[in-house]
Amino acid sequence: MTVTLADVAARAQVSPATVSRVLNGNYPVAAATRERVLRAVDDLDYVLNGPASALAAATSDLVGILVNDIADPFFGIMAGAVQSEIVGPGGRAGGERLAVVCNTGGSPERELTYLTLLQRQRAAAVVLTGGAVEDAEHAKAISGKLRRLADAGTRVVLCGRPPVPDADAVALAFDNRGGGKALTDHLLDLGHRRIGYIAGPEERTTTRHRLEGHRAALAARGVPDDAGWTVHGPYDRRSGYEATVELLRRAPSLTAVVAANDTVALGACAALREAGLSIPGDVSVAGFDDLPFSVDAVPALTTVRLPLAEAGARAGRIAMGREAAPAGGMAVVQGELMVRRSTGVPSKA
């Protein structure tokens, strides 16, 4: 029924091994026979059996990409960049690798499950994006799983995620703390002293680092940080909206709101507008990430640009061994403060 390599060999009048060599191209084959084989492949409309190939060679051409939410451009941009760099040797159409995108929803269990599934597939590499959940037990489980993946020959790269101890994984970490500090420094420079903070989900490295940067900036100037001015919530628009309503209730005197990311900031802006407050006239707003839509927000959003595409591309190249891993197995990727119109001098007393 289905055409196999042996069929091709028969038609080209060569041995199966030769066909295999032609197809994989990592072995010298006479030009004439190659032609003959290729023609036979074409004639028979032959398609290599991936599983069989992977079984025999003990490696597959699948690359796993773990993301929290593929519908979020933050992850979509990184995933796309990784995928663009995992082309096979020679860049040939047939030699490409496939990206397996796994939506973890930020759940540690699903993360583990997907890693096991990728291990089962004998994935060539795995790229983990997004912040990690801060839980000792889970951290150990992940670390062990990553180690076993690496032992099995799967290259592991962390993109936008802090290093994992004892895991033999290359880490490209975003400087969330530095970015968070730069953002709040900017607001302090403008004269803000009562700044609300809409943080991401608790127990996340990203959340904690950004918040730490914020607090470090405040502490450096001796500005008091009221605990009630910080609210946690998921990384979505609704969370920004609701958190802002809550902040406005708790502390109507706030002159600025820093959001966990741009999406949250958009929700915050909506809530402020509905409350009849102008931005930045009454309240300044800042985001994080600089997603594509942020420059088109009205007013354009002050935020910290993270080079998502560049980081993803680099992670992809490292995962493919096409680029050397950074010294020490880790690199810090800096963000860049983008000052736009959503932040200004506070007008309230």
| DSSP structure class, residue 287 | -
Residue 245 sits in the site that holds a copy of itself (CB under 8 A): no
Q: Does an H or E element contain 248, and which?
A: helix 237-250
Q: Does 298 bind DNA (CB under 7 A)?
A: no
Task: Take residue 333 and report the two structure tokens written for it.
Answer: 């990727």
From 5-13, 43-51, 168-176, 318-326, give the range in contact with a copy of itself by CB under 8 A.
43-51
Token couple for 149 = 């993946």
Among 8, 14, 102, 142, the residue binding a copy of itself under the rule CB under 8 A is 102
Single residue of 10, 25, 29, 246 touching DNA by CB under 7 A = 29
- Please report which residue ranges of 69-135 form alpha helices under DSSP H: 73-84, 108-120
CB of 291 to a copy of itself, least distance (A): 9
Collapse the DSSP code of 98 into the 3-class scheme (helix H, G, I; strand E, B; otherwise coil) and give the result.
strand
User: What count of other Cβ atoms lies within 10 Å of the Cβ of residue 13?
Assistant: 11
Q: Please identify which residue in 89, 191, 281, 292 interacts with a copy of itself, judged by CB under 8 A.
A: 292
Rounded to whole angstroms, the Cα distance separating 247 from 62 reads 46
Q: In the set 18, 60, 261, 284, which binds a copy of itself (CB under 8 A)? A: 60
Beta bridge partner(s), residue 66: 102, 128
Query: 337 by DSSP, 3-state: which?
Result: strand
Of 136-195, binders to a copy of itself (CB under 8 A) are 148, 152
Helix axes 73-84, 308-319, angle to 10 degrees: 40
Q: Is residue 45 a contact point for a copy of itself (CB under 8 A)? A: yes
**Cβ at position 301, least distance to a copy of itself in Å:** 11
CB of 244 to a copy of itself, least distance (A): 13
| Among the listed residues 4, 24, 119, 143, the single contact to a copy of itself using CB under 8 A | 119
Can you tell me which of 22, 79, 248, 264 binds a copy of itself, judged by CB under 8 A?
Answer: 79
Does position 90 interact with DNA (CB under 7 A)? The reply is no
Structure tokens at 146: 């990553």
**Radius of gyration (C-alpha) of the chain in whole angstroms:** 25
Q: Give the one residue of 13, 113, 116, 278 binding DNA; rule: CB under 7 A.
A: 13
Verify binding: residue 27, DNA, rule CB under 7 A: yes
Residue pair 303/265 in contact (Cβ under 8 Å)? The answer is: yes
Which of a copy of itself, DNA, none does 94 bind, CB closer than 5 to 8 A by kind?
A: a copy of itself
Closest CA to 185 of 157, 165, 214: 214
2 in contact with a copy of itself (CB under 8 A): yes
Residues that bind DNA (CB under 7 A): 2, 4-6, 13-21, 23-24, 26-30, 32-34, 48-49, 52-53, 55-58
